[in-house]
A = this chain, B = another copy of it.
């Protein structure tokens, strides 16, 4: 067994390893991997330790969940949609195009049964997961040229993965697989035309603005992507009840903590990027409508044969209608008024 036995003793000594899907340079993502370990260690006088390892230190960033499933390491910090190729239902715990924003995703996860539904699916791979961060709505990425119509997307070589890539492919985009370190040079040379990443705080560090200045929004494939802490189910089951409860509480705290950090750092990143010449551009309504239509076609195709996908997606969709009804009322109108003041310089 991976875990120490659940002995009847307060704060038994347990040391786990957590492999992150992120490099240390992504300080908000990897920082919150470390934050979880810090919280657990402090609360148990150092007895419950989860040590963090960056992507590649133990296993590759995209092998994190597999390593935990196999029991090679006890825990990982990853994003469900990295594994959508194994089964598209993986993506539904994190983000799919035109799903919920961060607050909606959290509400569905913690109160709408989302955590349990996703864990029913993850249990097939001997995993249990809890939300472990959210970026908020991401940006649509960096483009060398303006993209105004659907025609402009045809033949566009874009570094974009997962579901979004599959959907864009139907609209003529040619998704590119490229190691992170090669993206800048490829953009500069024009080997690729565009790249999607995260949002201003992370993007600002990469310098794409110098070679692909058109910064599009919104990232319709990541309206409120949830990062996950995942644990080997045997290891989890071997934890004392007190540690299980502490771990869930710490995950929920760090989940919130990441969004708070992004919400603090993204505005500053955006201001910096604008100073560096970033040209903000909204995706046109024509493009968003087409992407929405194609996304729904893809969902319908998958649902026809994949029960796990259908169960999760139906649950999200049912709440999505209610969430975007209520969001139109108090919050949206408050934000709109405040944004008008921001534009008028009266804040």
In the assembly, what is the distance between CA of A110 and CA of B326, in Å? 27
Give A217's nearest chain B residue, CB to CB: B330
A223 within 8 A of B: yes
**Contact in complex: B218, A331 (CB < 8 Å):** yes
**Contact in complex: B331, A265 (CB < 8 Å):** no
**Contact in complex: A328, B342 (CB < 8 Å):** yes
The 8 closest A-B pairs by CB, nearest first: A267-B322, A111-B264, A107-B263, A42-B245, A256-B256, A218-B334, A324-B342, A267-B326
For window 284-318 of chain A, which residues contact chain B by CB distance below 8 Å?
288, 292, 317
How many chain A residues have a CB neighbour from B under 8 Å?
84
The interface residues of chain A, by DSSP majority, are classed as: helix
For window 310-347 of chain A, which residues contact chain B by CB distance below 8 Å?
317, 319-335, 337-339, 341-343, 346-347
When A43-B246, A223-B334, A338-B98 are in contact, do A326 and B270 touch as well, CB less than 8 Å?
A: yes
Question: Interface stretch among A58-66, A132-140, A185-193, A204-212?
Answer: A132-140
CB-defined A-B contacts under 8 Å, sample of 27: A10-B44, A10-B45, A43-B245, A101-B331, A101-B338, A103-B259, A103-B260, A106-B259, A106-B260, A137-B334, A138-B330, A139-B329, A140-B330, A218-B329, A218-B331, A219-B334, A220-B337, A246-B246, A252-B256, A263-B323, A267-B319, A292-B341, A320-B347, A324-B341, A324-B342, A327-B339, A328-B339
In the assembly, what is the distance between CA of A176 and CA of B330, in Å? 23
If A111-B263, A111-B264, A255-B256 are given as contacts, then 7 extra A-B residue pairs at C-beta distance below 8 Å, sorted by A number, are A98-B341, A103-B136, A108-B264, A110-B260, A249-B250, A252-B252, A266-B326
A213 within 8 A of B: no
Q: Hey, what's the 0/1 contact readout for A75-111 against B, CB within 8 Å counting as 1?
A: 0000000000000000000000010011110111111
